[in-house]
């Protein structure tokens, strides 16, 4: 590309050289605009639509772009398909740097244009690819259909055709729009305008009121009629295995401290009896009992909870509720073990958001699948799992500050939801 940009300098002084330069321009631009090889890159939903666009029905090959290169060094076009997270951002920048010039970028879908559905209350998504790399064409949609992507490709083609040797392709600059809150900005500017308008209109309005004291608007909005639907009673789904009462009674016989969530005057037994058939039994445990109960329900022939559905937690003001969801594949019943973990308030208040506030023994030696689930809970809530073989952060970088699913979590780049 260096050589071709020298062409005007060399050829212009020669008589007729201008026409040669124009001819070169024409041929090279024609080639560049019609042979756009995209990079195989995709993170989420948009990637599937990008793939669809190269498949038989839509066939991006018609534009000569079916040559999806998996190495950035042979690509011309970077279709940013899918959300960009902060963790992925350096990889994207590196990929873009590795594409030899002239290179073009299409931001496909709402996520890469502005953050899309992940603008507000989000700590991990980059709000728009423009923050990282210069973007040439924006294709809105969530995800855009393949035709929309082709329209983006045609738009890019027109943009490339405008380049010449004298006005060659040059690397653009990323633009910082990361803190942009379009909703609040629009509301703010409008409020200012409205204030001005109020001042200007005050007189006219007063005059209007004087002239038409019993003015009534002729505009009557018509409500859309919604069709009438019948009330339908919900039929609980079929359930296999022991009933909740049996499960609860058996568990309680072994561990008397076990209860369930109760409200008001109900005894635990009443609550369990009232449960709909398809509602899994959720029992409350003491932290000390946790490991024993899990071991018991796993090995007991009547329970046989051999399958771990999930481990998760819920953050409350002074405690975490850690829920371990177990199921018996053979018998079919489910049981959820909820452990209340008191937060460790001996830690100074400033340090609390960034430090582990509770701990519980791991069950990964009983259920190997629990290992990653517990890592997730550790990552999101800052609950320590004792004796866990590999307690690292799983979704976030190891130097990420704070635990996002706690209610008091803050992040410098997080924008609160306006409504």
Partner 1 sequence: MFVPSVTHPIGDFVRDWVPRLAEYLPASIQSEDLNSVVAFLINAVICIIAVCVVNIGSAPILIYMERKVCAHVQCRLGPMRLGWHGTLQTIADVIKMLFKEVYAPSGADKLMFYLAPLIVLIAPFIVCALIPFDKNLVVADVSMGIPLIIAVNGFGVLGILLGGWSSNNKYSLLGALRSGAQMISYEISFTMILLFVVMISGSTNLMSITMGQEGTIFDWWIFKIPVLGFIAFILFFISSTAEMNRAPFDIAEAEQELTGGYHTEYNGTPFAMFYLAEYIALITNSALATTCFLGGFFPPCIGIDAVDNVLKMVPGVVWFFAKIYFMVWCYMMVRWTFVRPRVDQLMDFEWKFLLPVNLVLLVAGAAFIAIGL
Partner 2 sequence: MSHQLPPGFRLERKSNTEEFFINMGPQHPSTHGALRLTLRMDGETIVELVPHFGYIHRGMEKQAESMSYLQYIAMSDRQDYLTAIQNNLGVVIALEKGMNVGVPLRGEYIRVMLQELGRIASHLVFYGCFGGDLGGQTCLLFGFKEREMIHDILEEVTGSRLTTNFFRPGGSRYDVPDTFIPRVKAFLDHMEDTMKDYERFLSKNIIVLERSIGIGVLSKEDAIAYGCSGPVLRASGVNFDVRRANPYSIYDQFDFEVPVFQNGDCYDRYKIRIAEIHQSMKILRQCVEKFPEGPWRSKEKPVRLPVGRYYSEIETAKGLYATYVVAATTGEKPYRIHTRGPSFPHIAALNKMVQGHKISDLVTIMATLDPVIPEIDR
Partner 3 sequence: MQKQISTIQYIKRYLKRCITGPWSLICGLSVTLKYFFNPKRIVTEQYPENRKTLKMHDRYRGRLEMIEDADGNNHCTACGMCERACPNASINVLATKNIAGKKVLGRYVYHFASCTQCGLCVEACPFGAIRMSPAFEVATTDPNDLEMILNKKEGQG
> Binding partner 1 by CB under 8 A: which of 74, 93, 179, 354?
74
Q: Choose one: 24-32, 193-201, 208-216, 274-282; the region binding partner 2 (CB under 8 A).
A: 274-282
Strands 281-285 and 334-342: parallel
Residues 393, 396: Cα–Cα separation, whole Å: 6
Task: Report the residue number, 3 or 235, with the smaller CB distance to partner 1.
Answer: 3
Residues 147-206 close enough to bind partner 2 by CB under 8 A: none
Q: Choose one: 55-63, 163-171, 352-360, 375-383; the region binding partner 3 (CB under 8 A).
A: 55-63
Q: Which does 74 bind (CB under 5 to 8 A by kind): partner 3, partner 2, partner 1, none?
A: partner 1
Q: Which does 329 bind (CB under 5 to 8 A by kind): partner 3, partner 1, partner 2, none?
A: partner 2
Q: Which residues contact 293 (CB under 8 A, 6 or more apart)?
A: 251, 255, 258, 285, 337
Asked whether the beta carbons of 299 and 318 are under 8 A apart, the reply is: no
218: exposed, middle or buried (Cβ count in 10 Å: 0-12, 13-18, 19+): exposed
> Binding partner 1 by CB under 8 A: which of 15, 16, 70, 223?
70
Q: Which two tokens stand for residue 163?
A: 């380049």
Give the contact letters, 29-68, x = binds to partner 1 (CB under 8 A), - = no.
-xxx-xx-x-----------------xxx-x-xxxx-xx-
Give the DSSP per-residue string, 68-91: -BSSGGG-SEEEEES--BTTTHHH
Q: How many Cβ atoms from other residues are within 10 Å of residue 47's Cβ?
A: 19
Q: Terminal CA-to-CA distance of the chain, rounded, Å? A: 50
| Dihedral angle of Cα 242, 244, 246, 250, to the nearest 10 degrees | 110
Q: Which does 32 bind (CB under 5 to 8 A by kind): partner 1, partner 3, partner 2, none?
A: partner 1
Q: Choose one: 100-108, 176-184, 274-282, 341-349; the region binding partner 1 (CB under 8 A).
A: 100-108
**Where along the sequence are the contacts to partner 3 (CB under 8 A)?**
56-59, 62, 110, 113-120, 128, 130, 135-142, 144-148, 150-152, 154-155, 159, 182-183, 186-187, 190, 194, 197-198, 201, 204-205, 208-209, 212, 215, 217-219, 221-224, 417-419
């Amino acid at each position: 590309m260096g050589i071709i940009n020298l062409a005007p300098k060399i050829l212009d002084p020669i008589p007729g050289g201008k026409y040669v330069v124009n001819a070169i321009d024409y041929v090279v631009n024609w080639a560049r605009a019609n042979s756009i090889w995209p990079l195989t890159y995709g993170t989420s939903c948009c990637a599937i639509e990008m793939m669809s666009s190269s498949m038989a029905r839509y066939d991006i090959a018609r534009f000569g772009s079916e040559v999806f290169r998996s190495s950035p060094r042979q690509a011309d076009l970077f279709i940013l398909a899918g959300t960009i997270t902060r963790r992925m951002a350096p990889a994207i920048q590196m990929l873009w740097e590795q594409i030899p010039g002239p290179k073009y970028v299409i931001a496909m879908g709402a996520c890469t244009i502005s953050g899309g559905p992940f603008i507000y209350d989000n700590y991990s998504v980059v709000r728009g690819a423009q923050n990282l790399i210069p973007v040439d064409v924006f294709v809105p949609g969530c995800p855009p259909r393949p035709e929309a992507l082709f329209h983006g490709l045609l738009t890019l083609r027109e943009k490339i055709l405008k380049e010449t040797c004298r006005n060659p392709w040059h690397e653009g600059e990323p633009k910082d729009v990361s803190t942009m809150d379009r909703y609040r900005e629009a509301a703010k500017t409008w409020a200012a305008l409205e204030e001005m308008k109020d001042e200007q209109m005050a007189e006219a309005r007063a005059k209007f009121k004087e002239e038409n004291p019993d003015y009534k608007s002729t505009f009557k909005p018509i409500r859309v009629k919604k069709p009438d639907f019948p009330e339908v009673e919900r039929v609980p789904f079929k359930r296999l295995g022991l009933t909740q009462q049996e499960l609860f009674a058996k568990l309680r016989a072994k561990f008397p401290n076990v209860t369930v969530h109760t409200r008001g005057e109900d005894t635990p037994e009443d609550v369990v009896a009232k449960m709909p058939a398809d509602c899994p039994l959720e029992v409350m445990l003491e932290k000390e009992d946790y490991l024993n109960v899990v071991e018991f329900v796993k090995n007991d022939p009547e329970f046989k909870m051999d399958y771990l559905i999930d481990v998760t937690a819920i953050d409350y003001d002074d405690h975490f509720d850690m829920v371990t969801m177990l199921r018996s594949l053979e018998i079919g019943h489910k049981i959820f073990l909820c452990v209340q973990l008191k937060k460790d308030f001996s830690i100074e208040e400033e340090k609390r958001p960034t430090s582990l506030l509770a701990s519980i023994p791991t069950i990964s030696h009983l259920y190997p699948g629990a290992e990653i689930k517990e890592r997730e809970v550790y990552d999101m809530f800052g609950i320590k799992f004792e004796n866990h073989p590999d307690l690292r952060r799983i979704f976030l970088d190891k130097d990420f500050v704070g635990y996002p699913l706690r209610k008091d979590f803050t992040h410098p780049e997080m924008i609160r939801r306006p409504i």
